[in-house]
Amino acid sequence: MPGGNAGTLVNISDGWDSDVPAALTHSTGSLAFGTNGAQYVNGGYIGIAADGRAKSATISVWLKPASLTQDMRLWGQLRSISTPPHPLGAISLRNDGFGWALCGFHNAYSWVPVLPFGRYTTNEWQHLCFVWQNNQVVTYYNGNPAGGMDHIFEFDREPSGQTMSLGIGARYLNSYGKAYDGKMDDFAVWDGALTAERVRQLSSGVSPLAITPQGNIVQPGPPLASYRMDGDVMDASGNYHGTAAGDATFTDGSGDTPFAYAGNKALQLDGDGDRVSIADTTALRPGTQAWTLSLWFKTSNTNQTAALIGKRKPVPPYTQMGLWMAGAGTGNTGNGQKIHTFVIGTEAPRWEVHSNREYADGKWHHVALVRRDGNWSPVLYIDGIATAIFVNHDAGTRPHDINCTEPWYIGDVGNGSYFEGLIDEVAMWDSALSSEQVAWLAQNSLASMAPKEPALPLVAYRMNNNARDACGVHHGSLVGNTAFVSGAGNTPFSFAGNYALQLDGDSSYVTVNDDPALRPGTNAWTMSLWFKTSVGDRYSGLVAKRKPGSPYTQMSLMMGGSLAGNPGTGGNLHTFLIGTQTSNDRWEVSSRADYADGEWHHAALVRPAGDKSPVLFVDGVMTAVLANVDKGLRPHDINCTEPWLIGKSNSSSSFEGLIDEVAMWNTALTAGEIAWLSQNSIDTLFPRGTMITVR
Model confidence over 456-502: pLDDT tens digits? 999 999 999 999 999 999 999 999 999 999 988 999 999 999 999 99
Q: Between these two residues, 295 and 15, which has the higher pLDDT value? A: 295
Do 154 and 71 reside in the same domain of the chain? Answer: yes
Report which secondary-structure segment, H or E, holds 440: helix 435-441
Q: In what order do the strands lie in the sheet with 477-479?
A: 477-479, 509-512, 644-646, 540-546, 554-560, 572-578, 586-591, 625-630
Do 432 and 507 reside in the same domain of the chain? Answer: no
- Assigned domain for 393 exists: yes
Q: Is the pLDDT of residue 50 over 70?
A: no
CATH number at residue 70: 2.60.120.200
Do 351 and 237 reside in the same domain of the chain? Answer: yes
Q: Between these two residues, 53 and 579, which has the higher pLDDT value? A: 579
How far is the C-alpha of 305 from the C-alpha of 333, rounded, in Å?
A: 7
CA Rg, the chain, in Å?
Answer: 28
How far are the Cα atoms of 460, 660, 669 from residue 603, in angstroms, in the given order? 15, 11, 13
Selection from 639, 665, 681, 627 nearest residue 212 by Cα: 627
Q: Quote the number of domains for the chain.
A: 3
The amino acid present at 296, given as its one-letter code, is W
Do 285 and 419 reside in the same domain of the chain? Answer: yes
Q: Percent helix, strand and coil across the chain, each rounded to 5? A: 5, 40, 55
How far is the C-alpha of 417 from the C-alpha of 414, rounded, in Å?
A: 7
Selection from 576, 498, 492, 589 nearest residue 531 by Cα: 492
Tallying the residues shown for the chain, one arrives at 695
Average pLDDT over residues 609-613: 81
Give 679's pLDDT tier (boundaries 50, 70, 90): very high
Q: Is the pLDDT of residue 115 over 60?
A: yes
Do 525 and 499 meet the contact criterion of CB atoms below 8 Å apart? Answer: no
- Assigned domain for 695 exists: no
**284 phi, psi to nearest 5 deg:** -100, 10
How far is the C-alpha of 546 from the C-alpha of 535, rounded, in Å?
A: 24
How far is the C-alpha of 126 from the C-alpha of 86, rounded, in Å?
A: 29
Do 305 and 432 reside in the same domain of the chain? Answer: yes
Do 477 and 623 reside in the same domain of the chain? Answer: yes
Average of per-residue pLDDT values in the chain: 88
Do 293 and 424 meet the contact criterion of CB atoms below 8 Å apart? Answer: no
How far is the C-alpha of 420 from the C-alpha of 686, rounded, in Å?
A: 49
How far is the C-alpha of 518 from the C-alpha of 344, rounded, in Å?
A: 58
- Assigned domain for 238 exists: yes
Quick one: what percent of the chain has pLDDT higher than 70? 92
Which of 144-148, 217-221, 417-421, 656-660 is predicted with the least confidence, judged by mean pLDDT?
217-221
Do 545 and 490 reside in the same domain of the chain? Answer: yes
For residue 137, what are the domain limits? 8-210
Q: What is the pLDDT of residue 80?
A: 78
Domain edge (last residue) among 401, 423, 447 = 447
**624 phi, psi to nearest 5 deg:** -70, 135
Distance of CA 544 to the CA centre of its chain: 29
Give 691's pLDDT tier (boundaries 50, 70, 90): very low
Do 594 and 541 reside in the same domain of the chain? Answer: yes
Domain edge (last residue) among 447, 468, 494 = 447
Average pLDDT over residues 367-384: 95
Average pLDDT over residues 326-332: 91
Do 317 and 346 meet the contact criterion of CB atoms below 8 Å apart? Answer: yes
* 145-159, 468-482, 565-579: which is most confident: 468-482
Model confidence over 216-269: pLDDT tens digits? 788 888 899 999 999 999 998 888 999 999 999 999 877 899 998 778 899 999
Selection from 200, 266, 629, 322 nearest residue 446 by Cα: 266
Q: What is the pLDDT of residue 214?
A: 63
Q: Is the pLDDT of residue 690 over 80?
A: no
Name residues whose C-beta falls within 8 Å of residue 575's C-beta, 6 or more positions apart in sequence: 556, 557, 558, 587, 588, 589, 590, 605, 614, 616
How far is the C-alpha of 351 from the C-alpha of 394, rounded, in Å?
A: 5
- Assigned domain for 694 exists: no
The amino acid present at 483, given as its one-letter code, is A
- Assigned domain for 624 exists: yes
Q: What is the pLDDT of residue 161?
A: 64
- Assigned domain for 693 exists: no
Q: What is the pLDDT of residue 403?
A: 95
Q: Is the pLDDT of residue 100 over 50?
A: no
Q: Is the pLDDT of residue 57 over 90?
A: no
Q: Is the pLDDT of residue 54 over 60?
A: no
Do 422 and 513 reside in the same domain of the chain? Answer: no
Give the DSSP per-residue string, 302-318: S-B-EEEEEEE-SSTT-
Do 164 and 79 meet the contact criterion of CB atoms below 8 Å apart? Answer: yes
How far is the C-alpha of 129 from the C-alpha of 644, rounded, in Å?
A: 48
Do 557 and 573 meet the contact criterion of CB atoms below 8 Å apart? Answer: yes
Do 523 and 651 reside in the same domain of the chain? Answer: yes
Phi/psi-derived region of residue 256, left when phi > 0, alpha when psi is between -120 and 50, beta in every other case: alpha
Do 589 and 472 reside in the same domain of the chain? Answer: yes
Q: Between these two residues, 214 and 436, which has the higher pLDDT value? A: 436
Give 44's pLDDT tier (boundaries 50, 70, 90): confident
Q: What is the pLDDT of residue 555?
A: 93
Q: Is the pLDDT of residue 2 over 60?
A: no
Q: What is the pLDDT of residue 369?
A: 98
Quick one: what percent of the chain has pLDDT higher than 90? 58
Do 659 and 499 meet the contact criterion of CB atoms below 8 Å apart? Answer: no
- Assigned domain for 394 exists: yes
Domain edge (last residue) among 210, 237, 267 = 210
- Assigned domain for 217 exists: no
Give 398's pLDDT tier (boundaries 50, 70, 90): confident
Single pTM value for the model: 0.75
Do 505 and 552 reside in the same domain of the chain? Answer: yes
Selection from 76, 199, 83, 107 nearest residue 144 by Cα: 199
Average pLDDT over residues 587-604: 92
